[in-house]
Structure 1
Amino acid sequence: MTIASTAPTSAAPSTAPAYPVVEYKTADLDGLEIFYREAGPADAPVVLLLHGFPTSSHMFRNLIPYLADRFHVIAPDLPGYGQSAAPAHADFDYSFDSAADAVRKLLTKLGITRYAVNVFDYGAPTAWRLALADPDAITALIVQNGNAYDEGLDNDFWVPIKRYWADPSSENRDALRDLVKIDATRFQYTDGMGHPERISPDNWIADQAQLDRRGNDEIQMDYFLDYGTNPGLYPAVQEWLRAKQPPTLVVWGENDVIFPADGAHPYKRDLTDIEFHLFDSGHFLLEDRASEVFPLIHDFLARKLG
C-alpha cells in the first residue's frame, strides 16, 4: 500500500504578512514590579499606551499587534492594576504622581526618551504629569476619552466623586464602593455602545477578577480621591498643549457617561494640528469600533512619526 505524503514539495513563498510577536515582561523599578506588553521593532518610533480604570494593558491586546508592524509599542499596567504589583494601600501612595513616576522609571530603564502616547481615562492624568515633567518628550497624542479640561466633569456621574474630594470621610468613601463591583464594570463596557454584540464578556470578567483581589477596593478608593488633584493641573496642561502643539488625534466614544464628548471638543481650542473623530460608542470604543479606530490611529502615527 502506498501512502501519499501531505508535505508540500514546491510550495510558493507565502505572501501573508508576519504577525507581530507581543512579549510580556516585568520590570523591577526600585522594588516595585511593573508589568508591560512590548511589541514591534526596537528601533522604530515608540508608542506608549496608557490604560484607565478598571482595566489594564489588556485593553490594548488587539491594538498592540496592529501597530507593531512599524512602531515600538509599550503598554504598562499602572500600579495596582493588571499584573503589576499591588502593595497594600497603607504601604503605597496610590496617586497619579506615583503612577507617572512608575511609567517614567520604566521608560528610563528601557532607554526611551521620546514617544507618542495614547491617553485614556486614568492614562490621561498619568501622561499629563509626564508631559509637564519633560515637555519635549511627547511626539504625538492619541486622545481616547481622556480629559484635560473641566468640561465633561460636571455630569451626574461625578457628583459623589466630587463630594468625596471635598470631604474624604468614611461615609463618602464607602458611597463609591459600588463602582468597583461587577455591575459597574460591565456597565462601563456595554453602556452607550453602538455595537454591543462586539463586546467580549472576557473584558469585564478579567477586570473584575483584578478588582476583587483582597484590598484592591481600598486601592481604587485612593485613586478616586487623588483624581481630585487633576483639575488643578489642567491649566498647566492646556498651556503645554498650546506651547508644544503636539500632533493630536482625538478618537472619542461620544456616548460615554464617564467622560462625555463635552470633554473632547475643548482640545480644538488649544491645538492646531488636530484630527477629531466622535463615534457612536461608549467608554471603551476600542472594543466595538476597532475596525474604524485602529486604521485611524495607525495612519495618523505613520504620517506624524514617519
Structure 2
Amino acid sequence: MSKDKTVNAASVAATPSSHTAEAFASTQAAQDAVDFIEIDEVLTLRRTIVRAPAPKGTVLFLHGFPETLMVWKGIATTLARDYDVHAFDWPGYGQSSRPILARFSYAPRDYAQVLKAYIERAGIDRSNLVIYSTDIAALPVLLLALDEPTIARQIIVGDFAPFDRPQYMWENLQNLKAEPTASPTRAYMNKTSDEILENVHRRGLSPAEQFDLPIDAQHDMTRSWSLDGMTSADAFAHYYANFTRDQHYLEANLTRLKTPVKVIWGEKDLYITSEMGTEFAGKISAKLDILPGIGHFPHLQSPEQTVEEIRASFR
C-alpha cells in the first residue's frame, strides 16, 4: 500500500472531484476535525477525529446505510472528554471514494480490509480500542476479527444480519440479495432516494417514538447520496450482491471469533428483527441488550445510550 496521506480542509480543492470544497461544505461545523486519508491507490476515505485532552482509549464508530460519518458528531463530542474518537465514511458513502466495480467490489470482506487498513494508517492502539459498528458495518468488523482477534479490546455490534436468515429481514433487503429481484429493488431505491433519506430512521416506530435527524447529518446524507456516478443505494446493492457468501463464511467460522463482542439491538427494528440478534448472541455467548422502544438506529434515537455503552466498555 502507498504511504499514508491526509488532506486537511485548506487543501480540499486539490483532492478528486468527490472531495471538492462544495461537497465538503456540509461538514463546516466540524471542519477542524475532518480530513481525508488515503488507503491505497483506489480508495481515499473522509474521516473525522475528535481528540481528548488526556485520552483513556480510542473509539472507532462505523456507520450503516444510508449514513455518513456526520451521524456520530454529537456522540463524538460528548465522548471526546475522555476518549479519542474516530469515524470515517465507507467507500460508496459520504465523501469517500466510489471506485468502479472492477477496482473495488463493496463486499463485506473488502470493507473488512478497508477497516484494517484504516486502523493501521491512523496509528490506533488496538489494545485500547472499542469499535462500535451498526448495520452494514457489523459484518465487516466481525470478518476482520476472525483473522485479527486483537483488532480491538471490544467490538459492539447491532441491528445487522450476521446470518443468512431471510425470515428476519425486511422484504426489500431480502430482494437485494439476488436476481431477478435485486436490480429492480436497486432502481426503486434510487428513484425514491428523497423518501429514504427523509424516513429511513422513522419506519417501525410509533408517532411518539419517531425523531428527526440532526440537520447537519441530514444535509450531509442528502448531498452525499450521489457522487462520481454512484449512489449510496448502488454501493448498498453491490454489498448485498456479496452478502450471502460472507454471511455463510462468518457462520461457518464462528469458533474462530475470539475478540470480546457485545450485541445491542433495537426492540422495534423493522429492517432486521431482534430475533437475529438473539440467535447471533446465543451462538457466540455474547451479552445481548434489547433496547425497548428503539428502532434500527439506536445511536440516532438514543445517543445517550450509545455513549453509556462505550463508557461501559472501558470499565
**TM-score (ref. length: structure 2):** 0.76
Gaps of 5+ in 2: 1-29
The equivalent of 1:266 in structure 2 is: 279
Contact 1:29 1:105 in 2 (8 A): yes
Residue of structure 2 aligned with 1:35, choices 10, 34, 46: 46
The equivalent of 2:8 in structure 1 is: none
CA distance in 1, matches of 2:307, 2:114: 30
CA distance in 2, matches of 1:156, 1:294: 23
Aligned-residue RMSD, C-alpha: 2.8
Contact 1:89 1:215 in 2 (8 A): no
State, as a whole percentage, how many aligned pairs show the same letter: 20
CA distance in 2, matches of 1:264, 1:205: 31
Q: Which amino acid aligns with 1:128?
A: L
The equivalent of 1:7 in structure 2 is: none
Q: Which amino acid aligns with 1:103?
A: L
3-state secondary structure, aligned to 2:204: coil
Q: Which amino acid aligns with 1:38?
A: I
Contact 1:96 1:226 in 2 (8 A): yes
Contact 1:89 1:219 in 2 (8 A): no
After superposition, the C-alpha distances for 1:127-147 in whole angstroms (9 at most, x for unaligned) are 012201201222112223133
The equivalent of 1:15 in structure 2 is: none
Residue of structure 2 aligned with 1:45, choices 46, 51, 57: 57
3-state secondary structure, aligned to 1:37: strand
CA distance in 1, matches of 2:74, 2:89: 16
Q: Which amino acid aligns with 2:89?
A: D
The equivalent of 1:256 in structure 2 is: 269
The equivalent of 1:110 in structure 2 is: 122
CA distance in 2, matches of 1:163, 1:247: 29
The equivalent of 1:124 in structure 2 is: 138
**1:252: how far off?**
1.9
The equivalent of 2:245 in structure 1 is: 229
Residue of structure 1 aligned with 2:150, choices 124, 136, 160: 136
The equivalent of 1:215 in structure 2 is: 230
**TM-score (ref. length: structure 1):** 0.78
3-state secondary structure, aligned to 1:182: helix
May I ask how many residue pairs the two structures share in their alignment? 276
Contact 1:36 1:57 in 2 (8 A): yes
3-state secondary structure, aligned to 1:297: helix
Contact 1:94 1:223 in 2 (8 A): yes
CA distance in 2, matches of 1:202, 1:21: 12
Instruction: Say if 1:298 and 1:43 are closer, same or farther in 2 by CA, change over 3 A.
Output: closer
